[in-house]
Structure 1
Amino acid sequence: MTEQSLLATLSGVRLHIFHPDSQSVRAFCASLTQLGCHSQHSWPPAASLSTDTQLLLVAIDMHQQPLLTPLFISARERDIPIIALADSHNARLFPLLLQLQPNAIAARELNPFALIVQMIGTLKTVRHQQRLRAVQQACQARSERLAQAKSVLMQTFGLDESGAYRLMRSEAMNTRSSMEYTAERVITTLQK
Structure 2
Amino acid sequence: MKLLHIDSSILGEQSVSRMLSGAIVQRLKDHNPAIDIVHRDLVAVPVPHLTGDHLSASPAVMDDIAFGETLLGEFLNADVVVIGVALYNLTISSQLRTWIDRIVIAGKTFRYTENGLEGLARNKRVILAVARGGHYRQGTSLAASEHAESYLRSIFAFIGVTRLDVIVAEGLAVSDAHRENGMQTAFEALSALEPCCDF
TM-score range, shorter chain: 0.3 to 0.5
- Greater strand content: 2
TM-score, normalised by the number of residues in structure 1: 0.42
Bigger Rg, which one: 1
- Greater helix content: 1
Larger relative contact order (C-alpha < 8 A, sep ≥ 6)? Answer: 2
TM-score, normalised by the number of residues in structure 2: 0.40
